[in-house]
Structures are given as structure tokens and as C-alpha cells.
Amino acid sequence: MNIKEITQGIYYAGVNDRVTQLFEGLWPLPFGVSYNSYIVRGADKVALIDTVRIDEVREFLANVDGAASDRKVDYLVVNHMEPDHSGSIPEVVRAFPGIKIIGNAQTVGMIKGFYHLDDDDLYIVVKDGDTIDLGGISLQFFLTPMVHWPETMMTYVAERKTLFSGDAFGCFGALNGGVVDSEMDTDRYFPEMYRYYSNIVGKYGRFVQKALEKLGALPMEYICSTHGPVWHERINEVVDLTAHLSAYKSEPGVTIVYGSMYGNTAEVAEEIARELCARGVRNIRVHNASVASMSEMISDAYRYEGLIVGSATYSMRMFPPVEQFMNAMETREVKGKVFAAFGSFTWAQGAVLKAIEGYSERMKMPIVASLAMKQSIDEQTRQAARELADKVADSLTLK
Ligand code: FEO
């Protein structure tokens, strides 16, 4: 049983998932993931904040029972409806007769759609800023749409300076015994926060910024996200990192993503990487798109200021894994990168660079340098690759 009193009257009741290999069916989970849920116990009422993925419902209900300490659970607050948090709603409703579900108007529509709980008497519909008193401790609701779905809201307990933030400030990585950051070494969770943010929430940066503006002035001692540690000692770092990522700000470094069928385009990537290193760039991440994890490529592309994309020509288009990567960049509206491109062709000169230029125009990320290689690398192409790297190095503003 995984129960922990976080602060007076607020308990952890979530679960770990070390079985699922792909989050959302897409994103690798080498360290697992936690689905966090919390109990808030007032003198009069008990509230459960969010549920967990249905696969872990048995352990979850035992945790809820334990954290509620044999009291009846009166309310279920649904901050977010993605099924990794809403999946156990029907089981909670069955387990606690008379429970009321607290959500906004969009939440209710989604619960009816996903779980067919159609009785209107089941719901308490809240608006932005509404408060519900539990007896000496109260819940205040803030609508934060698109962090990460349109119904998303956050719940604040002023008496404990605690924010239940939904997916915001979350990360991949199961919890290993500890729950609050002060009782563990959290360094390993930070790379997982880059990956989680860029993979899952990345498209919605402007909405994350709005939420930060809305909630930034609230005093906070604990941030209870739906994934990863409860933040207490490292709140400032986590908030700063989220502000940084949501504003599409970068760190010093360059990501190179290439696609190569027989190794010729790969040689150009290696030449560019060596020259960047010679120019003093210290964070260089080279990914062969055919075998690299899309999740890691997206995370690095978010993180570092330079982005260089190289592709063999494939049926007059970009090589498919590179095209898939560029689609992911465009979907997430990645912007502000020092962007360069290289392409190779056997007979279709110009096709692949034209395709990359299309992304550059749509994403409003001008190409600072490009090169096209015919068939295989020679000294002239090596020189062009070094010049491309030099132009990128010269254009970097973060050293
Ligand atoms: Fe962890 Fe958007 O769900």
C-alpha cells in the first residue's frame, strides 16, 4: 500500500505502473510512470483528487481506503479526463455510494462520453474560482484549459498552500518508495520532465504560460502533479523549467537528426558534428532517425538551441523517419531554433531540401544554412558540411 501524509490532512493515494511500455501507446517508459491521486481530509468531508489508469484500480482503491482512514469519501475531484487519470472513475463511483463528482461543464460531458455515467445528480459543476469547504480545509478550482486537454483544471488548498496541478509539472518515472521530493534524490526525474513536457504537453505552451500567469501568485509549499514526485523543496526549479519550456526557450547545444539508408547521409551528419565540437559546442546530440527514439529526438530538439535536419531523398520526399520527426516538430509548434538542413539525392536533385524548406516556412524557422549532396560524400561536400556547421555555430546565441 502506497500512502503518505504529504502535509496535514493531505495524503498520497496513487500507484506506480512498471508494466506499460509505451505511454499513450507512443512514448517509452524505461523507468515506469506513476499515476498520482490524493486524499484531502477535512473535519466534515473527504475529497479524492483524480483517479488512476484502470489497470491499477485494485491497488488504488486499497490506497484510497487507507488514506481516507475508514471515512466515507464524499467527493471525487476530476482535474483531468485523460484515461490515465479518469480510468477508475466508474470503480470509485461503485466503491463509494453517494459520492459526488466535482468537475467543470466540459468534464461532465467527457465523463458521460467515456464512462456513460449519465445521472446528473452525480455531479457538482464548478466554475473558475469556485470553492468547496471540507471543514477547516477548502478546495478552490481554477480552469486551466489545454494543460493538457480542454477540460483541464487545477485545485488549490489555500490552508496548506498546496496545488493539485494535473499534468503540469509532471514527469515520467515511477516513484521508488518516496513521494515528496525532500525524501529522495530527484535528479533522475529532471531528464524525464523534459521528455514528458516535450512529448505530451509541448504543443500547448501558450496555455501553460496562461496557467502560470493565473496561478503564479498563489503561495505554494507543495505542488502535487498527476505524475512523478510531489514538489516541495524544488518547487522553484520545477516552475522555472516549465516556464522556460512553455516559452520555447532553449539551452546551449545542437541536435542533429538525420535519416540515411546506406550511410552516406550519416557521414555528412558526423562531419557536421565534428566541426560543431571544434567550434566549441559542448552539447551535441546526434540521432539516426531510423533507430533513435522519437521521444528522445523531440526532447533534445526542444532542449537545445540548434536543430540540424538531414535526409536522404526517398521517392521524391524526405526519408520517412525524418519526415515523421519533422511532423512531430510542426505539431508541437516548435519555434525559435537555429535551423539548418542537409539532403542527399541520387538523381532527384532538390526534392528533399524543398520538402524541408516547406517545414521551415510553415514553422517560421528560417534555414541558416543548407547543403545538398549527390550520391556520396567527397572533399567538396565535407567542406560544405564544415561551412554549414560554422554558420550554425556563428548563429547560436547561447554559448
Ligand atoms: Fe497524464 Fe494528460 O494525462
Ligand 1 centroid, distance to 356 Cα (angstroms): 32
Ligand 1 centroid, distance to 170 Cα (angstroms): 9
DSSP assignment of 298-323 equals: HHHHHHEEEEEEEEEEETTEE-HHHH
Residue 69: the pLDDT is 87
Ligand 1 centroid, distance to 174 Cα (angstroms): 15
Q: Name the burial class of residue 216, with classes exposed (0-12), middle (13-18) and buried (19+) by CB atoms within 10 angstroms of its CB.
A: exposed
Which residue puts its alpha carbon closest to atom 3 of ligand 1?
82
Ligand 1 centroid, distance to 167 Cα (angstroms): 5
Mean pLDDT of 176-185: 96
Backbone phi and psi for residue 367, each to the nearest 5 degrees, phi listed first: -85, 120
Which residue puts its alpha carbon closest to atom 1 of ligand 1?
167
85 lines ligand 1 (CB under 6 A): yes
C-alpha 291/C-alpha 319 separation (Å) is: 13
State which ligand 1 atom lies nearest to the alpha carbon of 201. Answer: 2
41 lines ligand 1 (CB under 6 A): no
Residue 1: the pLDDT is 64
State which ligand 1 atom lies nearest to the alpha carbon of 148. Answer: 2
State which ligand 1 atom lies nearest to the alpha carbon of 200. Answer: 2
C-alpha 306/C-alpha 323 separation (Å) is: 18
Instruction: Say if residue 58's pLDDT is above 80.
Output: yes
Residue 249: the pLDDT is 95
DSSP, collapsed to helix, strand or coil, labels residue 293 as: coil
53 lines ligand 1 (CB under 6 A): no
Ligand 1 centroid, distance to 85 Cα (angstroms): 7
Ligand 1 centroid, distance to 226 Cα (angstroms): 7
Residue 181: the pLDDT is 98
4 lines ligand 1 (CB under 6 A): no
State which ligand 1 atom lies nearest to the alpha carbon of 226. Answer: 1
C-alpha 285/C-alpha 297 separation (Å) is: 9
Q: Which residues pair with 268 in a beta bridge?
A: none
151 lines ligand 1 (CB under 6 A): no
Residue 263: the pLDDT is 97
Residue with cell 525524418: 322
State which ligand 1 atom lies nearest to the alpha carbon of 35. Answer: 1
A 10 A CB-CB count for 161 gives 14
84 lines ligand 1 (CB under 6 A): yes
305 lines ligand 1 (CB under 6 A): no
Q: Tell me the pTM.
A: 0.94
State which ligand 1 atom lies nearest to the alpha carbon of 227. Answer: 1
82 lines ligand 1 (CB under 6 A): yes
C-alpha 385/C-alpha 382 separation (Å) is: 5
- Calculate what percentage of the chain has a pLDDT beyond 90: 97
Instruction: Say if residue 2's pLDDT is above 80.
Output: no
For 220, half-sphere exposure in the C-beta direction (CA atoms, 13 angstrom radius) is 23
pLDDT in tens, 64-109: 999 998 899 999 999 999 999 999 999 999 999 999 999 999 999 9
Instruction: Give the residue ranges of DSSP H helices in the chain.
Output: 57-68, 83-86, 89-95, 105-115, 189-196, 205-215, 235-246, 264-278, 294-303, 320-331, 351-362, 379-395
167 lines ligand 1 (CB under 6 A): yes
65 lines ligand 1 (CB under 6 A): no
Instruction: Say if residue 369's pLDDT is above 80.
Output: yes
The Cα angle at residue 299 between residues 244 and 29, in degrees rounded to 5: 120
Backbone phi and psi for residue 291, each to the nearest 5 degrees, phi listed first: -120, -15
Residue 325: the pLDDT is 98
Task: Using alpha carbons, list the distances in angstroms from residue 293 to 97, 157, 300, 372.
Answer: 45, 39, 11, 26
Backbone phi and psi for residue 46, each to the nearest 5 degrees, phi listed first: -120, 135
C-alpha 105/C-alpha 125 separation (Å) is: 6
226 lines ligand 1 (CB under 6 A): yes
227 lines ligand 1 (CB under 6 A): yes
> Residue 243 corresponds to which amino acid?
A
Nearest to 147 by CA among 130, 120, 167: 167
Ligand 1 centroid, distance to 41 Cα (angstroms): 25
pLDDT bucket at 148, cuts 50 / 70 / 90: confident
Residue 373: the pLDDT is 97
148 lines ligand 1 (CB under 6 A): yes
Instruction: Say if residue 329's pLDDT is above 90.
Output: yes
Ligand 1 centroid, distance to 54 Cα (angstroms): 14
